Each structure stands twice: as structure tokens, then as C-alpha cells.
Chain A
Amino acid sequence: MSHHEMPFWKKYIFSTDHKVIGLQYGITATFFLLFGFFLMILMRWQLAYPGVEIPLIGKALTETGALTPELYNALGAMHGTIMIFLGVVPMGVGAFGNYLVPLQVGACDMAFPKLNMMSYWVYFVGGVIMMMSFLMPGGAAASGWTSYPPLSVISNNAQTVWLLSMVFLITSSLLGSVNTIVTAIQLRAKGLNFMRWPIHVWAQVTTAFLLLLAFPPLEGAAILQLADRVFGSSFFLPSGLVVSGEKLGVAGGGNPLLWQHLFWFLAHPEVYVLILPAVGVVCEIVTTNCRKPFYGYKTMVYSILFLGFMSFVVWAHHMFMTGMGVTLSSFFQATTMIISIPSVIILTTILLTLWGASIRFTVPMLFAMAFLPMFAIGGLTGLPLGLTASDIHLHDTYYVIGHFHYVVAPGTLFALMGGVYYWYPKFSGRHMNEFLGKLHFWVSFVAINFVFMPMFLMGSKGVSRRMYDQTQYSYGASTQSWNVVMSTAAFVLLLAQIPFIWNMFTAWKTGKKVQNDNPWEATTLEWAASSPPPHENFPTPVEVYRNPYSYSATTRKVLPQFIPQEG
């Protein structure tokens, strides 16, 4: 039976084709990203105008129409969880990894297509469970995306739902990462040795290893917290807890910091899980739009690997304020400084690629170029947080929020949006509208800086994060107007996504058709397949003849990996 004769549900819903699954991931993740963003808009209204009724929808949420502290905390926890575990990771790893890795290594599909389908559906179920937690009596989980016990253990029932959902999401990631690694290693096309992998493949494989090895400890921790909540054990509950004047009736003897160690052992590599696919995407976009070879391919590869390795030994820099002694903190400060080195190298390599280029300012290139300075801000502001002395003042303030949002939002998300514009012709055989793309880019670029830049200024004043109403404090009141600016900018940023979503859906049928299968004149294998690729990607097996990002020294023309001869 050929693919075309398959019933709709088999072809598009329970498909085992990596391309369909990639798109499923992409669409689901887009939904979650918008939803998570929308939660933040509600919170930003409260931050800008504390206690003021939310226009139009406020009355549907609470009695007074304004957010309550309970709801604010729940929205905060869910914003973080949804954006990271249901939005950015499924977008970067699920969508881009799934769609592109098999194509870029010249494979006909993922190594385990059924497993691939399963990871998507396990993720989907995890997402549905997470959404259901909003319906729990007492609201969604409200202990932050970090879920620190004892707060999370003694909080409302939705925390149990949160943990259950996390077990699903982790399982999905594990299955997906096994699949990615096996596909990239085993199903390489003839001639594609490791040092001919596109950088995006290197980034995805490193990411998969991080997921594979860092997620299980969180799964273990989630099981322990579930036991604490459901079976009454006290892994994270020390003896002698007194909650609201009442002694807590548990055995005690646990350790709240145990959770933090297990959690950050995942959650620091998780940062690189968020950023590495984006780096890979940017590298592809940059070389193609520079019309010249990538500067320092090997340096880049080794930096990515080193970054991945180091990400396992820096986790406790999130815990400097938890009574860490001199020796341990010295170690983690040193590793934190060391991990900044490959990051700087990665950035420098991409910047040097620009030298001597002929830069095409396509929409994806605009996003990639915006990624560079924004990622730089995110990375640089990590320095004062990684040194204990300066961290004393900045820890858990808005400075931290600004720091990681610069990495993830104008960093990773901008790169991934650029990736959508860049590979859209591959997905659909059509280009996205360029005017709408540029509108989307410029408005987003300006707005997003107005959202996140003031966070550094507020944080340096000492405004704590996760505050329902900072005007309770004098220094909070003295920085309150920044919140009004940030919230307005956040709303503009939301509006700026409308042309993007519109563009994404309408271009599928009405966009400009691609001239040929390789419209950007790129060098990597995914452009050897037709656009969009057929069911098994390559009707005849492809062969790889050279390194990626090659250009002829004589004609200065591009030399794709899959073309046998010059000329």
C-alpha cells in the first residue's frame, strides 16, 4: 500500500512519518508557546496595574476581575513549565530535530518510526494532563516551574497533576532522544562521516545526549516528590515542620536540598537543550545567507561537545544561596566561568563567518542576526550571576529573569522563528510572505527588548522575582513604571505574532512557489530532497561527496554536499 492511499487519520494523525510528526510537534508547540505567552500577558497586566480588573476577560477568571495572588502564582508556575517543557523543547528538539535530522543525514525516516509516533503522543498526553491541572479545585500548580519542596509538597493537589504530567513529558523526551541519536549515527548516507555532519545535526545529537542523561534524575526526583505527596513519605520534608502554626504529621528526616540538586542536575543541561538546537539553526541560516564557508567548523563542533559535557558540572550555581561552603562554591564558580568559554567561542565563530561574506538580508537571516547580540546579552549577564559575590545581590531578582529570558526568548525563540522562515519552503514547497515576515521581525525585535531590558534595571535595584505586587516594597514602588513599559511592550510583542501566525497558515496554500528544490542555494542534504519531500524522503539513496558549507574556489559558486562534481 503506498502512502497516498492511506486513510487521513493514518497519514496525518497517527503517522509514523518523521516529517508529519515534526509538523505535529511544531503546531502543538506553537499552540503551547502562544498559550504560555498569553498567561504571561495576564500576569503582566497585574504587574503593571496591581489589583486592577483585567479588561474583557477578568470577570471570567476571578470574582473581582483582578488576579488573586493564588492565581498569579499558578500562572507563573504554568508559564515557566509550559514555555520550557511544552513549548521551546518540543519546538527545537521535537519539531526541528524530527523534521531535519533524518533529512540532513540522508535517511528515509527516523530509525524507529513507531517509537517516534509514540513520543509525540506521550508528549501530547503530558500536555493535556498539564492543561487539565487548570481545572483542579484550587487551581493549577503554584510552586514555580522549579517546584521546590517543602512548598510544593504541602501545596494544592494540582502539584500531583504537574508531577504526573512531567513523568509523561520526560518519557517522551527520552524516547525522542534515543531515536535522534540512533538515526543520526546509524542512518547516515554514504560518504557522510561525522565530520561532514551539518552543525545542526551536531547540535541536535548533543542535545539528545543531554536529554537522555539529565532527564532521568528529574524523573527520579518527580517520583520521590509524588511519593511524598501521595504516600506520605518525607524525602524532602525535614523533621519539625510547622505549617500555619500546626505541626506537620510526617515522619520527617528528609532534605529539601536533595530536590534542588536533582532538579538542577536536569535543569542546567536543560538550558543547553533550549539553546543548542537554536545555535544549530542559526549556523545553517548564517552560512547559507553569507554565501561562503563556515568559519571554524571543527572549533564549533568541539565547542558544542564541550559545552554539552560541561553543562553537567555547573548545576549548583543555581544554589549558591543555600548554605554552600567555600570549597564547593569555588568549584562551581570555576566550572561556570569555564562553560562561558565555549559559548564565547560559538558566538565568535558565527561572527567571524560574516567576514568577507555577501550577506543576503532574507527574513531568516534577520532573525539569525538578531539572535547574535541578544544571545550575547543573555550570556554576558550570566557572569554576575555565576560569581557568588555578585550573586548575593542579584540572586532571585528580576536580573535573573532578564538573563534567562534573553537566552531563551530573543535568543532561542528568535532563532527558531528564523528556522521556520528558512525551512518553510522545505516543509511546504512555498515561501512565506516576505513583507509580513519583516513586519513580524522588526516589531518583535524592538518590543522584546523593551520587555526584557528593564528587568536588569529592576533586578539591580533588588526587586525579587515571582512577586504578585512589587509596590509593597519601597524599592519596588520606585521601579514600578518600568513594569508599565514592559507590559505594554509585551502586548505589542503579542500583536506582532499575528502576522507570523497568519503568514504561517496562509502561505501553505497561497505562498510563492519555490523555483527549485534548493531555493536558498544551501549545501546540506535536506535540500537534495524535493520540496516538500516525499514519503521516503529520497527516492534514490543520496551520496555525500564533501564537507558541508563548501564553495568552489574557482567559480565561487555553492557546492552542495550531494552534487558529485564541480560545475
Chain B
Amino acid sequence: MMEQLAKAWQDVLNKRGFEYGLPSDVSTHGFAIDNLITTLHYFMALLFVGWGIYLVYCLVRFREREGHTADVAPQHFSLPKYLEIGVVIFEACLLVFFSYPVWAKLKTDFPDRETSLVVRITAEQFAWNIHYPGKDGKFGKTNIDLIDGTNPVGLDREDPNGKDDIVSINQFNVPVGKPVIVELGAKDVIHGFFLPNARVKHDAIPGMVFPLWFETKETGKFEIACAQLCGVGHYRMKGYFNVLTQEEYDNWILEEEEALKEEGA
């Protein structure tokens, strides 16, 4: 016990584990989100520092002391009104020029399914099942009666479209530079599908399927986190989000298909 405490404090004293700021971003849409967050924080800092300076100034200048009495005459200030209007206009601009377009793009401007990688991600306590359609690009039928330990999404291997489907658990591999469409669902409770490094987050809600899309611009190995409390294992519902080169990705698909054939034989 003392060792762990000592280690924790060693980190504190060595200033390790004090990182802050947005994580690295490999998505093509992330800069818009990051821009908005940064702009907003400058704006917030400006307001806060303005208020703060004013507050401290008042506290010092108008402190109770000998020979100072309060001015009780009715007051009227018009500057705050203009500042207020300024704040309103700024907020309206944020809304119209920063937030609405990003959201509209993410919600409605989906890439072409033909040229994108389409995957189904089904969350469960406490894992991410990632279902790739395989070479034919078509998902096999799924049926909840088929769900068992080896078949987490209930894929029907008898279905011709399902023969080449790949189901990977907690390993989400995508090729860099190709749009990815995720059809997000859940089996049991609400989970939160979160790719911090791709600025993707969406609740996975049982009984519903939500399409999301993103596109990557750099390779790297990252994590999938669960953002929504989903039970005792919420904290360890970790997946891996690997952005591979097209070649690495193709090799991985080949390997998986080999494994499928062996299983079948």
C-alpha cells in the first residue's frame, strides 16, 4: 500500500501525469470542433478576466474605510447593456457559424457508402463488437437467438452474405484516408462510443441504430472509451482504435479471412 502511495506522489513531485489540453486528433472534421472549443475558451477567459478585474477593483476601491461612504443615489450604466448585446451577438455567431455547420455536416452529409468502409458496432457489457461486412461489402443476417460466447453479434454464417463477415472484439481497425460509416447499436444497456482521438462520440442505445461517420488523416494506435455509465465494468470497457495504412489494413483482413476458413474447415 505504502509503495503505491509513494509512487503516486513520486509522479506528482516529478510533475508526471499532469497532461491537459485536447488529445491529438486524426480525423478530418476534428479541427472544426477543436477550433470551436479553443475560440470559446478565449471568449470565456476574456469575459472572466474582465469580470475578475472589475470585481477586484471594486473590492479594493469601494472597501469600507474612514471617510468613505457609499453613493446611494440611483445609478444608471449603459456600458453593461452594450457589452451584454455584444455577448449575445457573439453567441449567435458561434451558434450559426461554428456549431450548426459542424453538426449538420456530421448528421446529414454522409459519404458515399460504396466508397466508404461500413461497419456495425454493437456495444455490450463490457466490450465493443465490431462487425465488418467482408469482401462482398454486405452484412450477413443477424439474429439475437444465435448470440452465444463465440458469436457475440448473432451472425448467421449460413446466410451467403454472412460467410465472409468479420467480427472483431475490441479491435477497431480502419484504413487511413478512407471514410468510415459506423452503424452503432447496443445489446443490453446504453453505452457511449467515444474515440477521443477522432472527435467521435455517440451514445449506443439498445433498440436503436445510429449512423455516424468520420474520416482519418493519420495512422496511429488509439483507444475506444465508454463514455456512458454501463455497469461495474464501465471503467474497463476499453477497445483499441487502430488507424492503419491501406496495406496493413488489407493484410489484417486477409489474416482474418484465413482464420475464418480454418474455422470453417
Name A residues whose Cβ lies closer than 8 Å to a Cβ of B: 48-49, 51-53, 69-70, 73, 76, 142-144, 148, 150-151, 154-155, 238-245, 247-248, 252, 254-257, 290-293, 295, 321-323, 325-326, 329-330, 333-334, 337, 340-341, 344-345, 347-348, 351-352, 354-361, 369, 372-373, 376-377, 380-381, 383-384, 387-390, 392-397, 457-458, 460-462, 464-470, 472-475, 477-482, 484-485, 551-553, 556
Instruction: Indicate if the CB atoms of B103 and A388 lie closer than 8 Å.
Output: yes
Secondary structure call for the B interface: mixed
| B1 x A396 contact (CB < 8 A) | no
Query: How many contacting A-B pairs (Cβ < 8 A)?
Result: 316
Q: Are B70's CB and A351's CB within 8 A?
A: no
A449 to chain B, nearest CB (A): 13
In the complex, which of the residues A70, A352, A369, A481 has the most CB atoms of chain B within 10 Å of its own CB atom? A481
For residue B224, which residue of chain A has the nearest CB? A473
A470/B235 in contact, CB under 8 A: yes
Q: List 5 A-B contacts (CB under 8 A).
A: A142-B232, A239-B207, A242-B144, A242-B147, A482-B18
| With known contacts A242-B124, A352-B75, A393-B22, A73–B232 Cβ distance under 8 A | yes
The answer to whether A387 and B94 have CB atoms under 8 Å apart is yes
Of A387, A461, A485, the contact of B23 (CB 8 Å cutoff): A461
- A292 B70 Cβ-Cβ under 8 A: yes
Binds A, one of B44-52, B163-171, B250-258: B44-52
Q: What 8 additional pairs, Cβ within 8 angstroms, besides A52-B4, A387-B36, A461-B19?
A: A238-B208, A257-B208, A355-B75, A387-B98, A464-B226, A481-B12, A481-B15, A484-B17
From A479, which residue of chain B is reached at the shortest CB distance?
Answer: B19
- Which B residues lie at the A interface, using CB under 8 A? 1, 4-5, 8-9, 11-12, 15-23, 32-34, 36-37, 40-41, 43-44, 47-48, 51-52, 54-55, 58-59, 62-65, 68-75, 77, 80, 83-84, 87-88, 91-92, 94-95, 98-100, 102-104, 106-108, 124-125, 144-145, 147-149, 154, 187-190, 192, 194, 196, 199-203, 205-208, 210, 223, 225-236, 238
**Docked CA distance A201–B74 (Å):** 23
Most chain B beta-carbon neighbours within 10 Å: one of A143, A390, A467, A479? A390
B229 touches A148 (CB 8 A): yes
Given contacts A238-B208, A369-B59, A389-B32, contact A396 B12 (CB under 8 A): no
Q: Is the CB–CB distance between A337 and B58 below 8 Å?
A: no
Of all chain B residues, the one with the shortest Cβ separation from A238 is B207
Measured CB to CB, the nearest residue on chain B to A246 is B147
The answer to whether B72 and A292 have CB atoms under 8 Å apart is yes
Chain A residue numbers with a CB within 8 Å of B88 are 341
Contacts A369-B59, A485-B12 given: A473-B225 contact, CB under 8 Å?
A: yes
CB distance from A565 to the nearest CB of B (A): 17
Given A393-B37, A460-B22, answer yes or no on A376-B235 (Cβ-Cβ < 8 Å).
no
Minimum C-beta distance from B39 to chain A (A): 9
Q: How far is the CB of B135 from chain A (nearest CB, A)?
A: 28
Query: Least Cβ distance of A458 to chain B in Å?
Result: 7
A462 touches B58 (CB 8 A): no
* Residue contact B190 to A256, C-beta cutoff 8 Å: yes
Known: A321-B203, A359-B58, A359-B63. A387 touches B40 (CB 8 A): yes
Also in contact, A460 and B192, with CB within 8 A (given A256-B207, A484-B12):
no
A256 CA to B187 CA in the complex, in Å? 13
The reply to whether B234 and A468 contact each other, CB–CB distance below 8 Å, is yes
**Smallest distance from the beta carbon of B9 to chain A beta carbons, Å?**
7
Q: Is the CB of B33 within 8 A of A150?
A: no
> Assuming A333-B99, A380-B44, A461-B23, is B72 touching A556 (CB within 8 A)?
yes
The answer on a CB contact under 8 Å between A380 and B22 is: no
Contact assessment for B70 and A475 in the assembled complex, using a CB-CB cutoff below 8 Å: no
Contacts of A380 in B (CB 8 A): 44, 47-48
Q: How far is the CB of B50 from chain A (nearest CB, A)?
A: 10
Q: How far does the Cβ of B196 sit from chain A's closest Cβ, in whole Å?
A: 3
Contact B225 A73 (CB under 8 A): no
Q: Is the CB–CB distance between A322 and B203 below 8 Å?
A: yes
From A76, A150, A155, A387, B206 is in contact (CB under 8 Å) with: A150
Q: A340 to chain B: which residues have CB within 8 Å? A: 91
Please measure, in the bound complex, the distance between the C-alpha atom of A482 and the C-alpha atom of B21, giving whole angstroms: 13
- Whole-angstrom distance between the alpha carbons of A172 and B188 in the complex? 34
Question: Chain B residues with Cβ under 8 A from A360's Cβ?
Answer: 64
Specify which of B84, B99, B229, B231 lies most central, judged by the most chain A CB atoms within 10 Å of its CB.
B229
Contacts of A257 in B (CB 8 A): 205, 208
CB–CB B37/A390 < 8 A: yes
Q: Which of chain A's residues have a CB closer than 8 A to the CB of B107?
A: 325-326
Flag if B103 contacts A329 (CB, 8 Å).
yes
The residues of A that contact B8 with a CB separation of less than 8 Å are 48-49, 480-481, 484
A321 pairs with B51, CB closer than 8 A: no
- The answer to whether A326 touches B77, judged by C-beta atoms less than 8 angstroms apart, is no
**Which residue of chain A has the shortest Cβ distance to B196 in the bound complex?**
A462
Name the residue among A51, A330, A358, A373 with the largest chain B CB count within 10 angstroms: A358
In contact, A326 and B103 (Cβ under 8 angstroms): yes
Whether A247 and B145, one on each chain, are in contact in the complex, defined by CB atoms closer than 8 angstroms, is yes
Q: Are B223 and A474 neighbours in the complex by a CB distance under 8 Å?
A: yes
CB within 8 A of B194: which of A383, A458, A464, A479?
A464
User: Complex Cα distance A479/B22, Å?
Assistant: 12
Question: In angstroms, how far is the closest chain A Cβ from the Cβ of B29?
Answer: 9
Q: Is the CB of A291 within 8 A of B33?
A: no
A389 touching B102 in the complex, CB below 8 Å, given contacts A247-B144, A347-B51, A468-B234? yes
Chain B residues, Cβ within 8 Å of A479 = 17-20
| Bound-state Cα–Cα, A458 to B235, Å | 15
Report yes or no: B203 in contact with A151, Cβ–Cβ below 8 A. no
A465 CA / B226 CA spacing, docked (Å):
9
Query: Quick check: A389 and B103 within 8 Å, CB to CB?
Result: yes
The residues of B that contact A49 with a CB separation of less than 8 Å are: 4-5, 8
Contact present for A472 and B238 (CB under 8 Å): yes
Distance (Å) between the CB of B82 and the closest chain A CB? 12
A472 to B64, CA, bound (A): 54
Of chain A, the residue at the smallest CB distance from B228 is A396
CB neighbours (8 Å) of A148 from chain B are: 189-190, 228-229
A-chain residues with CB within 8 Å of residue B206 when the two chains form the complex: 150, 238, 240-241, 256
Contact B73 A553 (CB under 8 A): yes
Chain B residues whose C-beta falls within 8 Å of the C-beta of A242 in the assembled complex? 124, 144, 147, 154, 187-188
- A295, B75: Cβ atoms closer than 8 Å: yes
The interface residues of chain A lying within 8 Å CB-to-CB of B70 are: 290-292, 356-358, 551, 556
A397 to B199, CA, bound (A): 13
Q: Is the CB of B199 within 8 A of A392?
A: yes
Task: Quote the shortest CB–CB distance from A236 to chain B (angstroms).
Answer: 10
